[in-house]
Amino acid sequence: MAIRKIAIRMVPLAGRALYSEIVRNIKILINFIMQSKENIKVYSHGGDRRSDSFTNNREENIRLILMERFAKKRSTINQYISHGSYLTLEALEKLVEGKADKEFFEKVNNAKLQIIKELKSKNFSADEITQMVSKKIIEFFNNRENLEDLLKKRASNDDGKSEKSEPVKKEKFLEEPTLEYWKGNDASSIVKLCEEEIREKAAAICQRMGARFQDFSTNFSLIKEAVIGDVKELLSLINCMSKEESVCLN
């Protein structure tokens, strides 16, 4: 039913759905299916539930379902997935409200990939990268009248950082992008921590925060966002110490 509603939303009565709407809906749908405990084949059309095309790879099957339900080529589905990667649903909602089109996603894509590469090289977590990338993309969108200048300025700054750094390759959507989904309901990620484990993890978080502030090569606004995430994680541990309850840690 969820897939049917989203599929209908993709082609509203008033005309074609916005590109940003499709990107958002695909992301929501992936979250829904990945968290579902049902056999993934139930989301396919009735006549195809015993199709030989399904494999034991859940992510591969999701792509097949998306292709089937939305009557899109694999490369097109991969493009939607890629353009929605490392963006929060909140950011995507803002892009939908602002009627962001395909051209916008394509224009900012190289800058987005460069930002992701930089943050990964600095060992930021996937959640931290998502928050920081989302903030930057919304910043680009809010200043879209000067987008070309902003992108040129950023590209120029990136070129001047290091002559040895490898340029970001232009994305090929046929190179399967990884499916992202919220894993908060994953029972395997819930652990019960003893006092010693809590102390060790809290100490590691504090050490990580200290290292962030000593990294003068990173923009301070990025450090600020990362430290906020560290503090939240630390507070959850402190809360765990007081309540002696299970906590979910990634």
Output the pLDDT for position 69.
Answer: 76
Output the pLDDT for position 184.
Answer: 44
Output the pLDDT for position 86.
Answer: 94
Output the pLDDT for position 81.
Answer: 93
Euclidean distance between CA atoms 242 and 204, whole angstroms: 19
197-218 pLDDT, tens digit each: 778 878 888 888 888 788 777 7
Q: DSSP label at 2?
A: H
102-132 pLDDT, tens digit each: 999 999 999 999 999 999 999 999 999 999 9
In this prediction the pTM is: 0.60
Output the pLDDT for position 43.
Answer: 55
Output the pLDDT for position 60.
Answer: 80
Output the pLDDT for position 219.
Answer: 74
- Which residues of the chain are under the pLDDT cut of 50? 8, 11-14, 47-50, 163-165, 168-175, 183-192, 243-250
Q: Is the dihedral of CA 202, 203, 208, 210 positive or negative?
A: positive
Mark out the alpha helices in the chain (DSSP H runs): 2-10, 19-35, 58-70, 74-84, 89-97, 102-121, 126-142, 147-161, 195-213, 220-243
